[in-house]
Structure 1
Amino acid sequence: MALPVRDQMKYWGIAAAVFFALLWFLGDIILPFVLSMAVAYMLDPVADRLESWGLNRVAATVVITIVAAILFVVIALLVLPTLVKQATELVNIAPELIDNLQTFLMAKFPVLLDEGSQLRQTLAQIGETIQSKGGELLSGAIASAMSLFNVVMLLVLVPVITFYLLMDWDRMVARIDALLPRDHAPVIRRLSSDIDRTLASFIRGQGTVCLILGTFYAAGLMLVGLKFGLVAGAIAGALTFIPYVGAIVGGTLSIGLALFQFWGEWQWIAAVVGIFAIGQFFEGNILTPNLVGSSIGLHPVWLIFALSAFGSTFGFVGMLVAVPITAALGVLVRFGLEQYRDSLLYRGQSADTSHSQDTPES
């Protein structure tokens, strides 16, 4: 006999409360495990593909680990130093850029920037704020990254945990499936499949789109000679997972930098605009339709809200789990709406009575 609905809700509620309590109290401790689970989840299809080519699971995991290690070393040696250097220079040069903007506005619109005008004071404050806060952010990030714990976590714990998770991923899924309550196992499997499909579309698909566009933007901006092009391209690519935000932020930053650097050389400014136009064309017509799909069930507004809420409440770990939890909640809400539409609460007694009258008696 199945448990009453009230008891089921009680037990599921306790499980959810325990999960969020662990997330709250053990955020820093479980960070490497959450990162490792995310990486293993993204790489599991690659391991499955290698297995279909004849490798066993251990050999497939070893191949993935070696390739990932090579890529990490290449990126660490070639990209990260330039990225950090450009980011630091961009923060330090912010007041100079603001001064150049003031000079331009004074030449074109002298009335707006009279001595003591509100606009002039605002621009000066913006430049000083960017320099001070940006410098604090960069120094804090560098100091944090150079701490012994973070180095050990990133270089040792995450790869090791990911290796074991990836090697035993299918076995762990089978173990969890065996523990599902038998009365609800078919429904849970269907909901889990929907959640996995949503996550696969978003995390794997959108992550690939971010990587491709970030590489394209950074390479294109550096080829045209834009200063800080690597930083602007990286920002645009990283924010692409929120529709339109990456292009707007990265494009505004890049075009603004191009206006200061190439003023009067309109062909280079047009080249920067063209890079983002081409990127948006490929994203909307080729990359997103083929890698993400037309519908993933994660509205941008809900995604931004989830990232903000979980990030402010649970820190960096909260931001990592925000997307999976939001995807799961979206699937559960859609399932609940399906059940609601099939219930008497939605259809009413009249609909049930008319359905009974339309059914011929045997």
Structure 2
Amino acid sequence: MQASPPLLTPRLLGWAAVALLVALAFWLLAPVLAPFIVAAVLAYVLHPLVLRLIRLTGGRLPKVLAVVVVETLALAALLGIVLLLVPILVREWPMLKQQIPAMLDGLNTTLKPWLVQLGVPVSLDLADLKSQVMDYLSANREDWWTPVMASLKLGGSAALAFAGFVVLVPVALFYLLMDWTGLMRSTVALVPPDWREVFDGFIAECDAVLGEYLRGQLLVMLCLAVFYAVGLSLFGLDLALPIGIFTGLAVFVPYLGFGLGLVLALLAGLLQFASGQALVMVAVVFGLGQLIESIVLTPRLVGERIGLHPLAVILALMAFGQLLGFVGVLIALPASAVLLVALRRLRARYLSSALYQSDSDAGSDRA
């Protein structure tokens, strides 16, 4: 009987150690690498557009100009999503200054009897709170600039980190788009020649899976934008269109986009309707929207396209968020798609290995 080859060879152990060190470095340096990871994900998505633009011009368009055009359009699209907030804030800010006294009075009237029923006889005097809030909302530029600067000093590291993120992502994206082909060739050159065929097949399968993910995520965003806009309009919300479109398009940032849209809709509803109607509107529209996204859209349009079970989608978001924070949530599903391809190949390799076959043969002999 011929002996089966060893399962763990020194070469394989060496590559496993290298992969472990790389993963450890990513985990330890996640805050520093965050803008570069985001830029790399954007470069992967946008580089085919750069190549297509060059081909459409017959190669006459310089690559640097093609990169500038594609990156400008991409950043303009992201900025357009953010600018959807402008009409919301412009409309709600003066209404907020007018409605806050009445809202606080209503809160006092509603909350005090409820607390008394619970056996908590508390006398709420919101006059001082109303005075402070109105002074802050009515302050001129010189009045509010001082506390803003003080808060930036207290949270200076967070403010600098955000500013660095905003600056570094476009810069890193530009250089990655310019050098993407060379970087990929350099990466492939590091792969041992006898592994090249397996590596090329793995990368091709990952490209196909990630393409399905991007198309599925785009469909999810469009469906949710329509749902939230129509749902809020049926309740008669004046700002239904910008809030609905923003919430739907911002779901590419899990949790944050949904949460911000919910807060904006609740605030707009409280300023336009009675508090009860606003709460019902938000509970119905955003509750149904979250259920539709979690149970139907993401599992069907994203999870099934890349072969992930709905529970695996939830687990991936939680696990990558725990390991890498906000950036982990952003890359959870694409990274899970790549891991899924690797696991499929490992499973196929195991089923065809001597280890599995010998166990199967021994079981059949005993039978």
Report the TM-score when normalising by structure 1. Answer: 0.63
Q: Which of 182, 186, 198 is 1:171 aligned to?
A: 182
| 1:340 aligned onto 2:330 | no
User: Which residue in 1 is equivalent to 2:315?
Assistant: 305
| Aligned partner (choices 182, 185, 202) of residue 193 of structure 2 | 182
- SS state of the match for residue 225, structure 1? coil
What SS does the aligned partner of 1:165 have? helix
Summarize the Cα distance change of 1:69–1:335 in structure 2 as closer, same or farther, 3 Å threshold: closer
The answer to whether the aligner puts 1:316 opposite 2:319 as a matched pair is no
CA distance in 2: counterparts of 1:240 and 1:214, whole angstroms: 11
1:32 corresponds in structure 2 to 35
Q: Compared with structure 1, are the counterparts of its residues 348 and 285 closer, same or farther at alpha carbon in structure 2 (3 Å cutoff)?
A: same
Which among 44, 64, 76 is matched to residue 70 of structure 2? Answer: 64
Cα distance 1:256–1:273, how it changes in 2: closer, same or farther (>3 A)? farther
Per the alignment, residue 14 of structure 2 pairs with: 11
Alpha-carbon contact 1:195-1:328 (below 8 Å) kept: yes
Query: Identity of paired residues, percent?
Result: 28
Q: In 2 relative to 1, CA 18–99 (structure 1 residues): closer, same or farther, beyond 3 Å?
A: farther
Q: 1:115/1:287 Cα in 2 relative to 1: closer, same or farther (>3 Å)?
A: closer
Q: 1:46-100 deviations in whole A, cap 9, x for unaligned?
A: 1232133125461321221232344455455x324456789999x9999x99999
Partner of 1:200: 211
Structure 2 equivalent of residue 54 of structure 1 = 57
Task: Indicate how the Cα distance of structure 1 residues 193 and 185 shifts in structure 2: closer, same or farther if over 3 A, else same.
Answer: same
Aligned-pair distance for 1:34? 0.7
Shift of 1:214: 5.0
1:147 is aligned to 2:159 = yes
TM-superposed CA distance for 1:305, in Å, is 1.7
Counterpart Cα distance in 2 of 1:275 and 1:171: 45
Instruction: Rate the CA distance shift 1:13–1:87 in 2: closer, same or farther, 3 A.
Output: farther
Cα deviations by residue, 1:218-262 (Å, 9 ceiling, x for unpaired): 5443694256775565445544788xxx99x989x9799979976
Report the CA distance between 1:306 and its aligned residue: 2.2
For the Cα contact (< 8 Å) 2:228–2:245, is it kept in 1? yes
- Check conservation: 2:206, 2:337, Cα contact below 8 A: yes
Corresponding residue for 1:110?
Answer: none
Change (3 A) 1:182 1:86: farther
Question: 1:200 and 1:97, CA in 2 relative to 1: closer, same or farther beyond 3 A?
Answer: farther
The residue correspondences of 1:241-256 to structure 2 (distance < 5 A) are none
Q: List gaps (5 residues or longer) in structure 2.
A: 120-150
**SS of match in other structure, 1:183:** helix
| 8 Å contact from structure 1 (residues 144, 150) kept in 2 | no
Q: Where does residue 169 of structure 2 map in the other structure?
A: 158
Shift of 1:114: 9.5
The residue that corresponds to 1:108 in the other structure is none
Distance 2:40 2:177 in 1: 8
d(CA) in 1 for partners of 2:306 and 2:86?
36
Residues 233, 241 of structure 2: 8 Å contact kept = yes
Contact 1:213/1:237, CA 8 A, preserved across alignment:
no
* Aligned-pair Cα RMSD in Å: 5.6
Q: State the Cα distance separating 1:168 from its structure 2 match.
A: 1.9
Q: Measure the CA separation in 1 of the matches of 2:332 and 2:288.
A: 30
Quote the Cα distance in structure 2 between the aligned partners of 1:307 and 1:61: 31
Displacement of 1:5: 3.8
Count of equivalent residues: 327
Is the 1:217–1:279 Cα contact (8 Å) retained in structure 2? no
Per the alignment, in what secondary structure is the counterpart of residue 193 of structure 2?
Answer: coil
CA contact (8 A) 2:220 2:297 kept: no
Shift of 1:205: 1.7
**CA positional deviation for 1:327:** 1.8
Aligned in 2, Cα 1:232/1:28: closer, same or farther, shift over 3 Å? same
Residue identity in the other structure for 1:16: A
The one-letter amino acid paired with 1:337 is: R
Conserved? CA contact 1:199–1:327, under 8 Å: yes
Structure 2 residue identity aligned to 1:200: G
Q: Is the 8 A contact 2:217 2:298 kept in 1?
A: no
Distance between the aligned counterparts of 2:162 and 2:30, measured in 1? 14
CA offsets per residue over residues 89-113 of structure 1, 9 Å max, x none? 9x9999x999999x99xxxxxxxx7
Q: 2:341 maps to which residue?
A: 331
So what's the TM-score if we normalise by structure 2? Answer: 0.63
1:84–1:299 CA distance, 2 compared to 1 (3 A):
farther
1:22 aligned to 21, 25, 28, which one?
25
Unaligned runs of 5+ in 1: 105-112, 119-138, 355-362
Shift of 1:20: 2.2
